[in-house]
Copies of this chain bind each other. A is one copy, B any other.
Amino acid sequence: MSTTVTKNITKKSKREQIIEAAFKLFAENGFFATGVDLIMREAAVSKRTLYNYFPSKNELIVAVLQHYHASCQQHFASIMDFENKSARENIRALFEDAQTWFGNPNFYGCLAVNAMSEFSGKDQAIVKACQDFKQWEIALLTSITKQLDDQYPDLLACKLFILLEGMSSIAQVNKAGFPLNVGALADETIDRHLQKH
């Protein structure tokens, strides 16, 4: 018990090594196209160890999606500030961060969306992990729009969500970047929404 604790402090655990290697490969090459052998090589871990931590490839995929979920939560918590910044500022920060993220050459689309396209109707646990992630995303947006004094925060959150997902999807195919400032686009959307009520 104490062993693993001290280990986790000093260096990455085998479990983390595996998940991070798998995450990279799944994002880059897709899920079915990435074999377990490649993952274990990339993680510098034996096959035995891999199957010790994860009873099957699909359960590893679930763990990778949960890791993705958790690190997104952490990342967005770090760039937003509910106490000192306004709702609009937080949204702007989120969108501008997303824009640079989507423009990164290492961006291969949202992992959860990609997983859905390969596993919908096939593996219920994987599908659930994807949906949980998207639920969290919309909940995060709603928690911000609720701070605006508006009658329909869910509606506005949905509109912003559509913008984010659209940008992500387009960036995945195009890579050319957007001919517009997406922070400004979010602002426009909020303006128009508030005007209407």
User: Hey, which bits of chain A sit against chain B, CB under 8 A?
Assistant: 28-30, 32-33, 108-110, 112-114, 116-122, 130-131, 134, 154-155, 158-159, 161-170, 172-174, 178-180, 185, 188-189, 191-193, 196
State how many angstroms separate the Cβ of A166 from the closest Cβ of chain B: 3
Chain B residues, Cβ within 8 Å of A173: 112-113, 116, 130-131, 134
The distance in angstroms between the C-alpha atoms of A167 and B167, with both chains bound, is 11
Number of copies of this protein chain within its complex: 2
Residues of the B chain whose Cβ atoms lie less than 8 Å from the Cβ of A158:
178-180
Give the shortest distance, in Å, between A146 (CB) and chain B (any CB).
15
Q: Are A162 and B170 in contact (CB under 8 A)?
A: yes
Does B113 lie within 8 Å of A32, measured CB to CB?
A: no
A187 to chain B, nearest CB (A): 10
Given A108-B117, A163-B166, A192-B192, output 9 extra A-B contacts at Cβ < 8 Å: A33-B118, A108-B120, A109-B116, A112-B173, A158-B180, A162-B163, A162-B185, A166-B166, A166-B169
